[in-house]
């Protein structure tokens, strides 16, 4: 039977970061990827936060094929054909970038291969092999492969994490699903329509685009395309009266978006699961000879206006490699030896974020955020700007809107917002 030191399942950001760090330390590493190439099964909304990565493989990201650096942030409240947009510009600092995983992960896999890890595509890992009830390898495409350690970086639907007993069968409450259209537009047209320079981009988030379903819309500018998407909590979606695939079409036809997207050609339609149960649904991340990383470990966080996951994936991959390196020096891949990984995650920015935002899922579960408040914002602006016959006093029209807002429920929302945010 074949034996390697480390098997990494899945060539996404966590798997590739882990393989890179392992190969860099001279550990013999095989990455098993079920797609035709790294990235073939990978989807992201499209924005990665760069600051947290300054401590994790920092040299690598200088050459990385990011699409555009986000300098313009927009938040749009929608109410049928009406919209109100808030805008923030920061050209000075490169905090986040847009990314297309097809391109990015293929580049990353080449870098990892150069480091000395072997990436094998078209391989599905079906199960583990055991010796004396301890995991000692994997079965991939029917063949057995022995190893010292396995890193499960096989994404949000990690069936293997469930098989390993580290994760339980999933709860719709802990997941959102995103759908995305990749729409091609010329680079120059994007620069003009979004008022950005070459290499700079805009990120636009939308509330009120999902009826009263818990979720929102997004529009990110890539170099010569835009990523348009809708994200919805699955448990909330099951109560919807519209089929989910129709949400994005309804969204795209809004006047605000129609003009931004005019003439664009759709080049891809994708969907992806987002684990967003937060801290309370985080599993234990290790057992003997096994570690979980990235989405497979549930390392994703919805902070309301920012959704993070790709930076956690990269960092967890690097930390998994650190834990493996130390376990190798002790020649001990037992559960207690690998338990150091959970501590590394807990002490890193991942653990700190997860703890700070532990109440976020409950806060975001408030359905008034998705219809009532976005409509209120639009109605309030309409009453300020519209002129019908006689213009009433501004205070009168505003007061009418504000009266709609004030209730016991909204007062409680305000208190919760102050507490959580």
Partner 1 sequence: MNISEDKKSSAEQERPSFLTIEARLGVNVFKVDKERHIVPKEEECKVCTARHCLYVCPAHLYTLDKEGLIAFNHEGCLECGTCRITCLHLAWNFPKGGYGVQYRFG
Find the part of the chain contacting partner 1 (CB under 8 A) among 48-56, 80-88, 246-254, 356-364: 246-254
Nearest to partner 1 of 105, 371 (CB atom): 105
Q: Which of 24, 60, 94, 103 binds partner 1 (CB under 8 A)?
A: 103
What is the DSSP annotation of 23-38? HHTT--EEEE-SSSST
What is the DSSP annotation of 96-123? EEE--HHHHHHHHHHHHHHHT-EEE-S-
Residue with tokens 């919760």: 416
CA angle 18, 343, 94 (to 5 degrees): 55
Find the part of the chain contacting partner 1 (CB under 8 A) among 248-256, 296-304, 310-318, 370-378: 248-256
Residue 127 contacts partner 1 per CB under 8 A: no
Q: Which of residues 44-83 bind partner 1 (CB under 8 A)?
A: 44
Q: Which of 101, 286, 287, 289 binds partner 1 (CB under 8 A)?
A: 101
Work out the angle between the directed axes of helices 310-330 and 349-356 (0-180°, nearest 10). 130
Least distance to partner 1 from the beta carbon of 49, Å? Answer: 18
Give me the 368-407 binding string for partner 1, x by CB under 8 A, dash otherwise.
----------------------------------------
Number of H helices, E strands in the chain: 16, 19
Give the span between the Cα atoms of 416 and 136, in whole angstroms.
Answer: 48
Q: Which of 240, 303, 398, 405 binds partner 1 (CB under 8 A)?
A: 240
Q: Three-state SS for 68? A: coil
Least distance to partner 1 from the beta carbon of 298, Å? Answer: 13
Q: Which of 27, 77, 105, 351 binds partner 1 (CB under 8 A)?
A: 105
Please answer whether residues 289 and 164 qualify as being in contact, where contact means their C-beta atoms are separated by less than 8 angstroms: no
**Which backbone phi and psi does 103 adopt, to 5 degrees?**
-75, -45
Residue 211 contacts partner 1 per CB under 8 A: no
Residue 167 contacts partner 1 per CB under 8 A: no
Q: Which of 31, 78, 136, 261 binds partner 1 (CB under 8 A)?
A: 261
Radius of gyration, CA atoms only, the chain: 23
Nearest to partner 1 of 42, 337 (CB atom): 42
Residue 43 contacts partner 1 per CB under 8 A: yes
Least distance to partner 1 from the beta carbon of 177, Å? Answer: 5
Q: Which of 4, 60, 111, 124 binds partner 1 (CB under 8 A)?
A: 124
Q: Three-state SS for 280? A: helix
What is the DSSP annotation of 284-315? P-EETTEEE-GGGGT--EE-SS-EE-HHHHHH
Length reported for the chain: 421
Nearest to partner 1 of 7, 179 (CB atom): 179
Please answer whether residues 309 and 301 qualify as being in contact, where contact means their C-beta atoms are separated by less than 8 angstroms: yes
Instruction: Catalog residues that contact partner 1 under the rule CB under 8 A.
Output: 34-37, 39-44, 100-103, 105, 121-124, 141, 156-157, 159, 169-172, 175, 177, 179, 181-182, 225, 234, 237-238, 240, 242-245, 249, 252-253, 258, 261, 264-273
């Amino acid at each position: 039977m074949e034996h390697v030191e480390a098997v990494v399942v899945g060539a996404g950001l966590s798997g590739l970061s882990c393989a890179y760090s392992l190969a860099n330390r001279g550990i013999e590493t095989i990455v098993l990827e079920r797609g035709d190439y790294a990235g073939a099964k990978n989807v992201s909304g499209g924005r990665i936060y760069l600051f947290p990565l300054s401590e994790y493989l920092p040299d690598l990201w200088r050459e990385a094929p990011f699409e555009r650096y986000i300098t313009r942030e927009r938040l749009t409240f929608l109410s049928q054909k009406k919209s109100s947009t808030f805008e923030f510009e920061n050209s000075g600092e490169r905090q986040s970038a847009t990314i297309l995983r097809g391109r990015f992960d293929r580049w990353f896999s080449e870098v990892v291969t150069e480091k000395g890890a072997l990436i094998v595509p078209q391989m599905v890992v079906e199960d583990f092999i055991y010796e004396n009830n301890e995991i000692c390898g994997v079965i991939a495409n029917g063949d057995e492969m022995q190893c010292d350690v396995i890193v499960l970086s096989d994404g949000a639907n990690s069936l293997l994490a469930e098989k390993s007993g580290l994760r339980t069968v999933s709860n719709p409450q802990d997941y959102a699903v995103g759908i995305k259209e990749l729409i091609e537009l010329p680079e120059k047209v994007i620069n003009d329509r979004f008022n950005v320079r070459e290499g700079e981009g805009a990120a636009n988030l939308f509330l009120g685009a999902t009826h009263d379903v818990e979720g929102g819309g997004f529009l990110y500018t890539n170099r010569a395309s835009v990523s348009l998407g809708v994200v919805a909590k699955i448990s909330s979606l099951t109560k919807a009266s519209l089929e989910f695939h129709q949400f994005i079409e309804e969204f795209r036809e809004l006047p605000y978006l129609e003009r931004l997207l005019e003439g664009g050609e759709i080049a891809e339609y994708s969907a992806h699961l987002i684990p967003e149960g937060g801290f309370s649904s985080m599993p234990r991340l290790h057992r003997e000879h096994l570690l979980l990383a990235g989405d497979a470990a549930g390392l994703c966080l919805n902070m309301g206006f920012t959704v993070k996951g790709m930076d956690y994936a990269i960092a967890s991959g690097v930390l998994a490699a650190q834990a493996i390196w130390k376990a190798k020096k002790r020649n001990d891949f037992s559960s207690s030896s690998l338990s150091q990984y959970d501590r590394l995650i807990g002490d890193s920015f991942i653990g700190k974020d997860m703890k700070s935002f532990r109440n976020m899922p409950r806060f975001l579960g408030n359905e008034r955020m998705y219809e009532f408040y976005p409509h209120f914002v639009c109605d309030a602006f309409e009453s300020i700007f519209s002129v019908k016959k006689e213009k009433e006093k501004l205070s009168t029209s505003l007061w009418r809107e504000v009266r709609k807002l004030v209730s016991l429920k909204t007062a409680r929302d305000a208190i919760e917002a102050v507490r959580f945010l």
